[in-house]
Amino acid sequence: MATLLDGKGVSDQIKAEIKEEVAAMVARGEKRPNLATILVGENPASHTYVNHKIKACKEVGFISTHLQFSEDISEEYLLKKMDALNEDEEIDGYIVQLPLPDHIHKEKIIDRIKPMKDVDGFHHLNFGRMSSNLPCHLPATPNGILELFRRYKIETKGKHVVMVGASNIVGLPMSILLAKGHNPGDATVTLTHIHTVDLASHTRQADILIVATGVAGLIKADMVKEGVIVVDVGINKVEDPTRKSGFRIVGDVEFEEVEKKASYITPVPKGVGPMTIVSLLMNTLDAAKKTYS
């Protein structure tokens, strides 16, 4: 039976460390870190994610600034509000919660964020600096996975990592980071996705399998080898009439069966999700300390 990679437990440890550091900063007369969130529209999942981030800020002693806009906000008006955050010295970092309404161009919004305040790590300059081994804010989810590996002392050097999912948010940066000469890093990485022909032939070779596709139960037990380390980034709602809500949250991996073959595996929920949020806090703390210029 696999050892659970307890993202919730690890994130709680990191939040305690951040809280202690913030208290020391304030005691020295320094300002509290301030993380701003922008939410456009009434997407229930987006509201939940933002509320989790606001709660996490309070837990570690950050100031949390929230801007809420209606679904029909113009792109021009949103950009002006972002420009104000870029120039506000009280704001150390901010995020624009995705997805955005169709009339707003996501890439234009992401690239309007001042790179030093881009604590999600999505700006193309941060992505380029990451790829060039230069100091930057790493994308939150990949950074959270790397921290999970560090805390569990999971060796990646020389291992074969198979990444399923090639998004700019998770798959692509994750593959770059694990291939680089860092700790974790120095891995041999295969980048695949849901359109890869004979996907199982690749996933069966994985020493470490990371899955981020948004396809519930994509990875079955016969698609992995004994002893594999599995990181499931997926968060999917599936119908479940036995639940009061009428649904349950599952990942991209068939957990019950794959767990029997894996050496380590992340649960869904309480695996990668909490590590993503704590990564935002880590990046915000770095921004407040002016770690990168």
Catalytic residue among 6, 15, 53, 261: 53
Q: Please tell me whether residue 74 adopts helix, strand or coil conformation.
A: coil
Active-site residue, 205 included:
no
> Cα–Cα distance between 83 and 3 in angstroms, integer?
46
> Cα–Cα distance between 103 and 88 in angstroms, integer?
27
Active-site residue, 13 included:
no
Q: Is residue 170 a contact partner of residue 142, using CB atoms and an 8 Å limit?
A: yes
For residue 242 the two structure tokens come to 């036995």
Identify residue 142 by its one-letter amino acid code. Answer: P
Q: Is residue 177 a contact partner of residue 138, using CB atoms and an 8 Å limit?
A: yes
Active-site residue, 180 included:
no
Catalytic residue among 6, 15, 97, 286: 97
10 Å CB burial of residue 1 (0-12, 13-18, 19+) is exposed
* Contacts of 260 by beta carbon, 8 Å cutoff, 6+ apart: 1, 2, 221
Asked whether the bond before 135 is cis by omega within 30 degrees of 0, the reply is: no
Catalytic residue among 6, 92, 118, 120: 120
DSSP H helical ranges for the chain: 7-27, 44-60, 75-87, 106-110, 124-131, 140-151, 171-179, 199-203, 255-258, 272-288
> Cα–Cα distance between 251 and 233 in angstroms, integer?
7
Q: Is residue 107 a contact partner of residue 169, using CB atoms and an 8 Å limit?
A: no
Q: Please identify every residue annotated as catalytic.
A: 53, 97, 120
